[in-house]
Structure formats: C-alpha cells, structure tokens
Structure 1
Amino acid sequence: MSKSALPRRSVIVGAAATVIGWNTVGRSWAVEAPAGAPEAPADAADDALAALPPLDGTLVADAETLARFGGDFGHLVTAAPRAVLHPGSVNDVAALTAFARRHRIPVAMNGQSGTGGPAELESHSSYGQATARGGVAIDSRGLNRILRIAHGRAVVEAGVTWAQLTDTALAQGWLPPSLTDYLHLSVGGTLAVGGIGGGVQRHGFQVDTVESVDVVTGTGELVTASASANRELFDAVLGGGGQAGLIVRATLRLEPARERALVLSLFYDDLADYLADHEKLMLERRFDLHVGDVARNAAGTGWKYKVEGVVHYDGTAAPDREALVRGLRCLPAETTFLDQTAREYAFRVDAFAGYLQAAGLWSQPKPWMSLFLPASTTEAFMREAVALLTPEDLGAGLLLFYPFRTDVITRPMTVMPDELVGFHFDLLSFPFPGADHAAALRRNRRLYDLAVSLGGKRYLIGAIPDVTRAEWRRHYGARWGRAVAAKHRFDPAGILTPGQGIHS
C-alpha cells in the first residue's frame, strides 16, 4: 500500500485498532479507526504516513496490550512499547524489523511465557531486558510450532516452550539434554541468554545443544546460522541477549529419554564440606544431573546446604543407593531418596509455581540475580553473602547454588569465570508484600560488585541496577570487541533489544 492509498481514517490514533502505518513526522503509529467511527479529514499528515509491509499477523496498539508487554516477570521495570506484533509467520518478524530499521524504531522479542491464559503470560526477564520502550514488542507466542522431531533433533519456532517440546519429545522417546528448572519458558528466550539447568555439568547451557538457528538481524534479513555457516552470527546470537539478531527458529540436539529418575537429597551444615563434596560429585560424574540450594536451618539460626542429585534409569534397573552416597560428608540421617518418572522430575517445579501463584506471590516484584563464581573464591563470596542475606530476602523463594565445569560452556557470548570449575549463585527471591525492593536492588548491586572483585560474571537475566558501559566491557573482557563488532554488523541502527542496556 502506498502513502496515497492509505485510508484517511488511518491518522486516528487511540482505540483498540490495528496499526496500518507510521507517521514519519510525528514518529507515532497510525491505526485504523473502529468501524463506525468518523473519518479524520485529509491533511498534510497523510503524506507523512509510511504504510506497513503486508503481514500474515497483526500489529496492534491498544492500551491493554501495550500495558501487558510493558512489564515482565520481575515487576520492577515498566517500559511499554508503542505497538505489539502478533506474528503470523517468521516472515512477519523479518518484514517488521526491516521497517523498524528504516524508521529507527526499537524492537524486542518477548517470550510471553507461563502456563495461564493470555492475560497471565509475561516475559520472564526480571529487569526489563525484553522490553522495547517506545518501540515494538514481538509476541513470540505467534511462533509456537514444533516443526519436526526425528533422529535426535528437534526443529522448533522460537515461541515453543520447553514444556511443550519436552512432552512432544518424550512421546517419541527423546528429551532435550539441558533443561531449565521451570519449563514454561520460550526456546527463543532462553537461547538468547544461555539457558541453564541441572544438566549444565555434562551438557553445558541450552545454547550448547543448538545445531543451527534462523535469525532475523537488525536489518530485517532472515539468515540461517550454524557452526559451519554464518558462524559470526551464530556465535553472536546464542547467549547474546538479542543484540545482534532475533532467534525465530532453532534446531536442537535431543538424547534418548530414560524412563525413571532417582532423586537424592543430601544435606550439609558445613559450607566447606558442601563445596568439597559437590565439586567431587561433579568431577566424578556420579549423577546424571545435579543442582543445589541454600535455605535456613530448622532452628532459624543459620543456613543449610543441599545437593540434589539425579540418576536416570530404565525399567527395574535402579541405581545402587549406597554407592551413590559412599565417601560423602553429608548428614546421613537427613539423606532422602525419591523415585519418580523422568517426566515427573522434569516438571517438578510446576507444583511450587502453582503454590506461589495461589498465594499471590508470583505477581509480586522479584529482584532475581544470577552470578557465576570461580571455584577458588566461591567460599569467600558465599560466607559474605549468607552473612548479608536474611530470610526476608528470600521470602518464599530459594537460593540455588551448585558447581559446573566451565569448559562445557562453548558459546562465546556466555562469559564464564576463568577457571575450570565455576559455581552458579542464583538468588530466586519471592518477597512477601511490603518488602523493600529498592533495598533488595542495592543488595544485588553489592553482591554483584563483590562477585566481580572475586573474578565472577553475571547472567543476563538478573536485576542489577546501574550497570555502566564500562562494566559491560569488563564483563565481556577479551570478547568485548567481538560483541561490539557483531552489534555494528548485524544491527547497524542499534534497534534490537534495548532493554539489555549492553551497548547503550
């Protein structure tokens, strides 16, 4: 549609109507007025209207949708877009991004994760990372097809959730090797930041299981990238925070699924014993996957540390429980075993999420923070952290804390500490109503500064205030030049994913 062919009523902006063009003078969207509304008279503004390219889906600008896409799971930052694309195809993302590049309009993909209806879905970034203030948010739920599962591979669109993929793959005898703890997250969203879970010790992040991706760059070009084709883009988008391109499709590695999961819970009062045993278990590969967490002890006088190890098996060939705990310094009387199906373990967080939702805590502000620490300084960091943290800091949440081998993290934008073994410190707080969130952000900043001083790195989803460009440069270290070069090459107008703040 040319400018002259735009309906005069397109200059009417307001009600829940479909966007049909961009006012290049006023830098605002023009929407088609609802049926029956009077047409606006023709004026010079009509000549400033750039028509949208043809779309299979819709671009909308109603107040309710804009408000929903203006926040995220953290509920700490509000940055509403001025339009939301509900794509009908991958081509819509490319066409809209090319249009946005021409008119310098910010764009971000929004995972809209969760288990409820549309009104209950939201981005699962925690500090505005997936917002597009004043720009266009792309609802990835419009790209939710599993295209193929065969021969140990899955081809999926970016809006597919890991829960959706897990169930579909299990039905065919496969399972993604690296899963997040909470599965109702979009594939594109976790691949954009890395994607970590209990399988990290053997399989790395979720980005380390990716064979290829289809990416829309900041110029609107749709490119297939892999380790053998368009490698620079492949490396830039996996764990790159949406800075060089928007992942719209991915080919993922799968592994044969096992039937059952034996889950061990091992408890420690002593931090040094916990660190030593957990690192020992990881290096011995005694478990198929394992995580750990920290909670207040029963008396409320200190902290207790837990290793959660999992061994998968088939049929009745259950693992030797005694061999699994041999030589460890855990508290024997508190050790527990739980035998369940592999699916039950994969979806284990759903019950906890249901409790938080029923209690009204899911929608409260959540100052989450994830850090990666070198093993040599982890004990020093943790002793200072647990002295600082209070039960109120966690609320109904938890603090994950466990080791992994950094040499299995292969994607260059997922920056790790410079040691073979690292520890993941993941503060997943669910504060109770009335909590001081400003104080929590100051606490996050203090812990982040401590971690950096001890050789630590951050995960891109965290709520860490006032991170400067110089601090981002320090975070990426020798890889900063690659990050900047990829941004300039693939997003020359600087429109993609501004909420991360990496290049601002």
Structure 2
Amino acid sequence: MEISLLYSGVNALILLLILSSPYKIIQKPIDFGSLNLLPTTDMASTDFGRLQFNPPGSVLKPQTPEDISLLLSFLSSSSFSQVSVSARGAGHSIYGQAQALDGIVIEMGSLPLEIEVHKNGEMESGLSYVDASGGALWIEVLKETMKVGLAPRSWTDYLYLTIGGTLSNGGISGQTFKHGPQIANVLELDVVTGKGEMVTCSPTKSSELFYAVLGGLGQFGIITRARIPLQQAPKKVRWQRAFYDDFETFTKDQELLISIPELVDYVEGFVVLNEQSLHSSAVAFPAHLEFKPEFVRNGRFKVYYCIEFAIHVNQVESIHVEKIVKGISRMLSYMQSHLYSVEVSYLDFLNRVSMEEEILRSKGLWEVPHPWLNMFVPRSGIKKFMNFLMESISPNEFEGPILVYPLLSDKWNTNASVALPRAIETGKERIMYVVGVLRSINPAICKMDCLNQILHEHHQIAQAASRPHIGARQYLAHHPSRIDWHEHFDSKWTRFAERKAHFDPLHILAPGQGIFPRVIVDLQE
C-alpha cells in the first residue's frame, strides 16, 4: 500500500502506521489500543453488485464497538479531513454503497458475534426480544432464537445479510404488509455516531438518532447492537402459489390477501417471463408443474404472473389451516386449476433464497454483475410503471426474478429516514408496491456494452417513474448527484440534512452513497 499516495503529511503517515500495527502502540494524546487497520482491501473493494470497484486505503477489523468509536472520534477531531469511513456488513450492496475509495472500511463481521435471547417472563416488560450485534447475520439470529421456539416478526427474503445493514436501509419481505419493515420492528439500538459518540437510543431515549439511523443509509452512525422483538415461531408454513394471465387480476388478489392479515402471514408475487422465471426460487415446488404457459402467442410475447402467499402452521392447527387455505382459494381469481401448495419447515421457508443461491453458484451465476433496480410504486401508478418497465425488457433473454407485491403505508414510521413515495408519506394512498428487477448478468453473454445499456435503461426507468404521473421512489437507491438525492428525499431532505449536520458534521460516514461530500477542515481558521 502506497501510504504517501493516500494521505499527505507526516501526521497522517504516523496515524496509518499506528493503526496498521498488530501491536498495542500508544500515540499521545490518543490511545489506539488494539485497533488493527489492515491494507487487505480486496473484499472491501467490491460487493454483490459487481458494478463498482473502489479500493479503500485500509480496512479496520474492530474487536469492540469502542474500536469504532476511537477511530471516528480521532477522525472527527483531527486534521485528517479527507478520510472517510464506511461500515461493511455482508457486502450485499449493489452500487458500492459500502465502499470508501482511499478511505477506511470497517468490517462489521469482525466484531464478536453476540446474540442473547430474552424470553417472555424474564423481563419486567413481559416482551420477548433478542439483542444481536450489528454484524450478526439474520440467519444466525433465526437459528439462535428458534432454539427456544421464538423468531423475529419481519424479514428480508435473503437471510445472509447483517442486522446493521438491513436496518440502515429498511428490510422488507412478504411479511411487511402485516408487521411492517424491519426498521419498524426495533426496540433499541447501540450506535456510534460520525463524531465517535457511543449512544444507546430508542423511541423514548435519544429518539432523533434512533429514527435517523433506521433507513438512514449509514449516514448518521454505525449500528453495533439492535434489540429486536420476538414472537412464537410456527412449526411449519403452508406455502401457496397461484398463477395469473392478467395483471389487474393479479394485483387485485394480492390486495385482497393483505386485507386479511388475521389469516395470511406472507404475500409476495413475481412476473413469469420465461421458463427460467417460472421455476425461479421454486425449489420446494414440483419440478414439472401442470402449468404450461404459452410464452409466445400469435408472434408476441405473453407475460404471466404468480402470487405467493403463506400461512403459519402449528402442529395442533393443521386441519384449521386446511380450511383457511380452501376458504381463501375460493376468494381468488387465479387461472383455473393452477394453485400449488407445499408444506415446509419455518426455517426452510425463511431461508428459501439460499437454496436458489446454491443452484446459481453451481451455474456460475452468483458472483456476476447484478444491476438491480428496486422501486416503491404507489398503487395508482403501478399499472403505468409495469407497462413502462416491460417495454424495456426482452422476456426471452431476461435472467432473474421480477418481484411485485404490495405494502401498507400505516406499517411504516415516517420519523425514520427511509424515503417513501409522496402519495404514501402524505397519506393520499395506503397501498404501495415493491417492484424488484433482480437481474443476474451472464458475462459470457452480456459484455460491458450490454451491461452499460442495462444500467442506462434502469436509470431512465427510475427517472421517469419518479415523476408525478407515477410518483415512485427508489428503494436501496443509487443516484449520480446530490440534486438527485435532494429530489429522492423530497420533503424529507431538510430533516435528513439537519440530522447529518448534527450526528456526522464532517461527513465522514458512508461516502459510497454519494449523498454528502466530505467536509474539508481549514486548519488555519
């Protein structure tokens, strides 16, 4: 590592030599303790998207939250005004959001794994919860809580993500309509702010930081612990799939399902473009479905849709669940005789994407570029959006799922930082849809020009969809300029910027998001 190319000045050289030392070295007036800053930057230079490659100057592998606090305290009070810091969890971002070009990446997985379950009755509140370190994976939390028959309520589709990572973005899945996103299912957080302050916060204690960090894209602090409420874990899950050949009927039935949360525990859906998408993430379902769609009809591509819904099953409720499934089925308008059902363990259901991951890895299609586009679309604009989206897709060539499913606005806390469509935030609409265009690019087929064209198309789709006639908003957003970020947050921008000025005034944190340029300190003032 060419230190002199990364930072200027004798003091900077001393700092990096100290931080990269494996020994305990004291440099007055700062005691760096056991900080271990390494020049091993390969993993921190990339992410799941394989679209951005920004090598940091160094990587910090903290052993305690105090190590993170020490680093940020020093950087926020020193002359190192060009050094930025990103927290990296599982590295599952798409556009380099957790990278820090020439800066410092904190590997959150280096923190000791701490998962402590508190069962109902052990605490005065009578509420069961789990305390988990920010670098813990959701799969690790699930396995630990299920040892005592408990589980968190709200999930993401993929469980090999960190607690701190999903809470910094939102955390959504098919349970969100019922329990809200993961950021609405948090009791307490430990956070290290951009100033290096270690703060325990909750809805009633340091609440401004609590809500800033939730969905805050890592801009205000680094989550080192989260307290997550738990519920009784079901024994099994009855998992249903129903197929449709009409989009409006498909969305009508999805909205019917989310209107009966007392019966239904999970609702998602996806577009069936081709044979690959027909069987995508369908490991638990029969390999040869009776559903034999005609993807080309009269010389034109025909698109189909699939609703997934699930009902939790406890051992004593199997007969009751069967009655519920039959009752719900009679309410739906799916294609005749195309309803499929399987019963799987709760763990296998929540961990379903990992089975698909194994298949993609075996085909060499996991560690490839993923130019994903995720949108929140108001109900009033979903048909226009889907028409616009489908015009840009070649169904026979598309690889990966296109998810489409509804969420309810009243399950989101508007104090959190996450940006929602204006119609949702103002209460004009109660339903919005998640649309996830989750492409996997085969480098042998789609070269750089092809990939750039896809990225350009996605940018155009996002730009057009954000205009008033649709009113959509990006989720897991990526924007090229601060003006675009200003438009993204819309009426929330002023509060977002004020929170940044309070909790990270020098703009040290999360440079990969591209929201705030690093503040340069003039030492002569």
TM-score range, shorter chain: 0.7 to 0.9
The residue identity in structure 1 corresponding to 2:304 is K
Aligned residue pairs, count: 459
Assess if the C-alpha contact under 8 Å between 1:24 and 1:50 holds in 2. no
In structure 1, the residue matched to 2:513 is 500
Residue 441 in 1 paired to residue 455 in 2? yes
The verdict on how the C-alpha distance between 1:429 and 1:22 changes in structure 2, with shifts beyond 3 A counting, is farther
Residue 369 in 1 paired to residue 379 in 2? no
The residue identity in structure 1 corresponding to 2:484 is E
The verdict on how the C-alpha distance between 1:170 and 1:25 changes in structure 2, with shifts beyond 3 A counting, is closer
1:353 to 352, 357, 362: 357
In structure 2, the residue matched to 1:304 is 304
2:84 to 106, 125, 130: 106
The verdict on how the C-alpha distance between 1:412 and 1:430 changes in structure 2, with shifts beyond 3 A counting, is same
The alpha-carbon deviation at position 485 of structure 1 amounts to 0.5
Could you tell me the TM-score, scaled by structure 2's length? Answer: 0.83
In structure 2, the residue matched to 1:24 is 11
In structure 2, the residue matched to 1:250 is 226
In structure 1, the residue matched to 2:243 is 267
Identity of aligned residues (%): 29
Give deviations 1:456-475, integer Å, cap 9, x for gaps. Answer: 11112x4x452x22221222
The verdict on how the C-alpha distance between 1:96 and 1:22 changes in structure 2, with shifts beyond 3 A counting, is farther
The alpha-carbon deviation at position 125 of structure 1 amounts to 0.5
The verdict on how the C-alpha distance between 1:358 and 1:22 changes in structure 2, with shifts beyond 3 A counting, is farther
Map of 1:65-464 to 2, 5 A cutoff?
A: 65-101=40-76, 102=78, 103-104=80-81, 105-111=83-89, 113=90, 123-151=91-119, 152-285=128-261, 286-297=263-274, 298-300=293-295, 301-318=301-318, 319=321, 320=323, 321-391=325-395, 394-395=398-399, 397-410=400-413, 411-417=415-421, 418=423, 419-433=429-443, 434-435=445-446, 436-453=450-467, 454-460=470-476, 462=477, 464=478
Assess if the C-alpha contact under 8 Å between 1:267 and 1:304 holds in 2. yes
Q: How far apart in 1 are the matches of 2:472 and 2:171?
A: 18
Helix, strand or coil for the counterpart of 1:384? helix
Q: How far apart in 1 are the matches of 2:494 and 2:220?
A: 13
The verdict on how the C-alpha distance between 1:302 and 1:485 changes in structure 2, with shifts beyond 3 A counting, is same
Helix, strand or coil for the counterpart of 2:337? helix
Q: How far apart in 1 are the matches of 2:20 and 2:493?
A: 47
Assess if the C-alpha contact under 8 Å between 2:19 and 2:32 holds in 1. no
Q: How far apart in 2 are the matches of 1:144 and 1:179?
A: 23
**Greater alpha carbon shift after TM alignment, 483-492 vs 322-331:** 322-331
The residue identity in structure 2 corresponding to 1:149 is V
The verdict on how the C-alpha distance between 1:441 and 1:32 changes in structure 2, with shifts beyond 3 A counting, is closer
The verdict on how the C-alpha distance between 1:23 and 1:421 changes in structure 2, with shifts beyond 3 A counting, is farther
The verdict on how the C-alpha distance between 1:106 and 1:259 changes in structure 2, with shifts beyond 3 A counting, is same
Could you tell me the TM-score, scaled by structure 1's length? Answer: 0.86
The residue identity in structure 1 corresponding to 2:267 is H
Unaligned runs of 5+ in 2: 120-127, 275-292, 296-300, 424-428, 518-525
Assess if the C-alpha contact under 8 Å between 1:210 and 1:253 holds in 2. yes
The residue identity in structure 2 corresponding to 1:67 is D
Q: How far apart in 2 are the matches of 1:376 and 1:179?
A: 26
The CA RMSD over aligned residues, in Å, is: 2.4
Helix, strand or coil for the counterpart of 1:430? coil
In structure 2, the residue matched to 1:45 is none
